[in-house]
């Protein structure tokens, strides 16, 4: 399904926050009462879904939507909750950690931290390469054989904007 802007959405029933958080610029989404997701309470732990049931995992799908729409910190937070719930499943935990690192790498661009982009991208790509080998090129709906070279090219291009990042397209 696509949204009003024509962007492919995987969890269209979930609204995007009013702003994409950038550390140092915006009120912290959950730690500041002015933040877009502030409730004053802890989020409940994310439910675990086996990787084969990725298409039923609304949090995973919403994280993909957030990343694709440029909400890097928010995507990171959604996937981090899933990562904690998947720690007993090493392949899925590594996959989620790699997505967290890709998202954080993109966040480093507007923060003016090219070393952070390089380090996070290197770590994410190493994990994704191993996952691609172990899962025969695809995992949780993502064609890693397609995404890996595109993200590698993006990260090594010294981007000045995250806009040219490869989007996550799920099968």
| 81: nearest Cα among 66, 70, 5 | 66
CATH number assigned to the domain with residue range 51-164, chosen from the 4 options 1.20.1250.20, 2.40.50.140, 3.30.70.380, 1.10.3450.10: 1.10.3450.10
pLDDT reported for residue 44: 86
| Tens digit of pLDDT at every position of the chain (171 positions) | 555 555 789 999 999 999 999 998 888 788 888 888 888 888 888 999 999 999 999 999 999 999 999 999 999 999 999 999 999 999 999 999 999 999 999 999 999 999 999 999 999 999 999 999 999 999 999 999 999 999 999 999 999 999 999 999 999
| CA angle, 61 then 64 then 68, to 5° | 145
Q: Is 151 within 8 Å of 159 (Cβ atoms)?
A: no
Annotate 40-68 with DSSP letters as a single string. Answer: SSPPPPPPP--GGGGGG-HHHHHHHHHHH
Domains of the chain: which residue ranges?
A: 51-164
Quick check: pTM over 0.85?
Answer: yes
pLDDT reported for residue 5: 55
Task: Say what the alpha-carbon torsion angle 117, 123, 125, 128 is, to the nearest 10 degrees.
Answer: -140
């Amino acid at each position: 399904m696509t949204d009003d802007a024509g962007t492919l959405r995987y969890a269209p029933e979930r609204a995007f926050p009013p702003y994409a958080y950038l550390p140092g610029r915006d009120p912290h989404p959950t730690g500041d009462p002015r933040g877009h997701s502030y409730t004053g309470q802890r989020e409940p732990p994310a439910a675990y879904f086996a990787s084969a049931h990725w298409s039923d995992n609304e949090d995973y799908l919403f994280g993909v939507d957030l990343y694709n729409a440029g909400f890097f910190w928010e995507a990171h937070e959604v996937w981090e909750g899933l990562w904690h719930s998947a720690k007993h499943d090493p392949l899925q935990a590594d996959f989620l950690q790699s997505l967290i690192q890709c998202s954080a790498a993109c966040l480093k661009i507007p923060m003016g931290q090219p070393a952070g982009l390089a380090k996070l991208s290197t770590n994410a790509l190493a994990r994704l390469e191993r996952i691609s080998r172990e899962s025969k090129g695809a995992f949780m709906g993502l064609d890693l054989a397609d995404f890996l070279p595109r993200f590698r090219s993006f990260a090594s291009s010294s981007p000045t904007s995250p806009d040219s990042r490869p989007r996550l397209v799920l099968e």
